[in-house]
Structure 1
């Protein structure tokens, strides 16, 4: 089992929030579930750019954090859907705020990415 060499400092609210929703794909997974795409196979179809193994890993993490829970239906074949816990629901306004900020600033960020020169530690004048 992997043991961290440097302990995580989770006494800071921002560190906790970033642990839960940080990373490349967790917000997208949560948005899928928010929109009703709740079955793992449907999430995989929605997020074709991401390996199913990665999606499953993030779903498991979100479940371990208590953000999602897995509902297993007694059907044949078995049907599984992910749903938000109350604490997970409380994250949805945070994600909406982040999406709004991203939409308002995406051109600015893209422009800076396009003009950044590695090794100079500064942006080119516009």
Structure 2
């Protein structure tokens, strides 16, 4: 079972951040929502490798942690939209920095072996 950030000691803010943002998909979902409100299907199409079940689970956790707002429109068929809260929007610059670092890492540290490197 997932712990809450309230259960983490005060001295460990990084642990609290990782509890909220940890996992394969959370930052990708948040980055997808930066430009604006999206419906569930739009998020799913933007992240084709995620399963419907995992997307639902991650969105529920992000909503519970106050990073995403879920709005249900009572119409037929039902429409559900997701948008970043102010707390979620504050992560935009951090996500940009992580994206920059990830690209650097892929290109320099974890680059695919070229044909010249293979014996």
After TM superposition, the score normalised by the length of structure 1 is: 0.74
Q: Secondary structure at the match of 2:109?
A: helix
Distance 1:85 1:108 in 2: 35
Q: Is contact 2:72-2:81 (8 Å) kept?
A: yes
Mean CA deviation greater in 100-109 or 60-69: 100-109
Alignment correspondent of 2:56:
56
Alignment correspondent of 1:107:
107
Alignment correspondent of 1:94:
94
Alignment correspondent of 1:9:
8
RMSD: 2.2
Distance 2:33 2:79 in 1: 15
In structure 2, stretches of 5+ residues that fail to align are: 114-119
Change (3 A) 1:3 1:25: closer
Task: Count residues in correspondence.
Answer: 109
In structure 1, stretches of 5+ residues that fail to align are: 115-126
Greater length-normalized contact order (CA 8 Å, ≥ 6 residues apart): 2
Q: Is contact 1:66-1:85 (8 Å) kept?
A: yes
Alpha-carbon displacement from aligned partner over 1:94-119 (angstroms, at most 9, x marks no partner)? 111111111222222314x86xxxxx
